[in-house]
């Protein structure tokens, strides 16, 4: 009888611990991206791998060897292009970029989508206001992006004059923030 009681207590303890973990995660303020909840307690990579809209970006990050960097302490502001953003590139571009011999170019493009620091939409809006309608952001790659508003939409202009719109802002991560964008940004 004592063994049965101890087994029952152990089962209840395991169930409680499991339920507490699930409950703790479910009380986090999440945003849905690509059909998956993005948890502020997880890092950029651990969240991104769950988004069905970012499989191309995740594959590119892996091919460029940037996984450990984006799992680091940061903080990072990542402008994350969706699969459909990559689909806008000329046919064969992505397949070519993920080849080992093109790792430097791929890394340059991906790090152009990252700004050091934690810039949520309020911080970007404040920078735009301070810049009289335009904010210049320096990317980890070393290039510049320009942020502005188009009505209520946050838009980014890249070094080649291309434009991208933030479609989901302020996806908080434990090591920064992600802003989902609809077009791949291109450095010089």
C-alpha 19/C-alpha 17 separation (Å) is 5
Stretch (H or E) spanning 29: none
Helix axes 55-64, 103-111, angle to 10 degrees: 120
Which has the closest alpha carbon to 124: 179, 70, 84, 186?
179
Beta carbons of 143 and 93 less than 8 angstroms apart: no
Specify the pTM: 0.84
- pLDDT in 10s for each residue of the chain, 188 residues: 444 443 444 444 444 444 444 444 457 788 989 889 999 999 999 999 999 999 999 999 999 999 999 998 889 999 999 999 999 999 999 999 999 999 999 999 999 999 999 999 999 999 999 999 999 999 999 999 999 999 999 999 999 999 999 999 999 999 999 999 999 999 99
Query: Which residues, 6 or more positions from 40, have their beta carbon under 8 angstroms from its beta carbon?
Result: 28, 29, 30, 172, 173, 174
């Amino acid at each position: 009888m004592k063994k049965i009681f101890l087994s029952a207590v152990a089962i209840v303890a395991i169930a409680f611990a499991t339920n507490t973990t699930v409950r703790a995660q479910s009380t986090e303020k999440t945003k849905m991206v690509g059909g998956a909840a993005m948890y502020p307690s997880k890092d950029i990579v651990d969240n991104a791998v769950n988004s069905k809209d970012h499989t191309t970006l995740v594959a590119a990050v892996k091919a460029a060897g940037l996984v450990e960097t984006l799992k680091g302490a940061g903080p990072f502001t990542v402008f994350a292009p969706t699969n459909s953003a990559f689909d806008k590139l000329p046919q064969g571009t992505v397949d070519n970029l993920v080849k080992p011999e093109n790792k430097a170019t791929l890394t340059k493009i991906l790090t152009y989508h990252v700004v050091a620091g934690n810039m949520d939409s309020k911080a970007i809006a404040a920078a735009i206001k301070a810049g009289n309608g335009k904010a210049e952001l320096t990317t980890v790659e070393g290039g510049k992006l320009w942020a502005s508003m188009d009505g209520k939409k946050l838009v980014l202009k890249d070094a080649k004059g291309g434009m991208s719109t933030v479609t989901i802002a302020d996806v908080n991560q434990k090591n920064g923030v992600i802003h989902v964008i609809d077009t791949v940004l291109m450095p010089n």
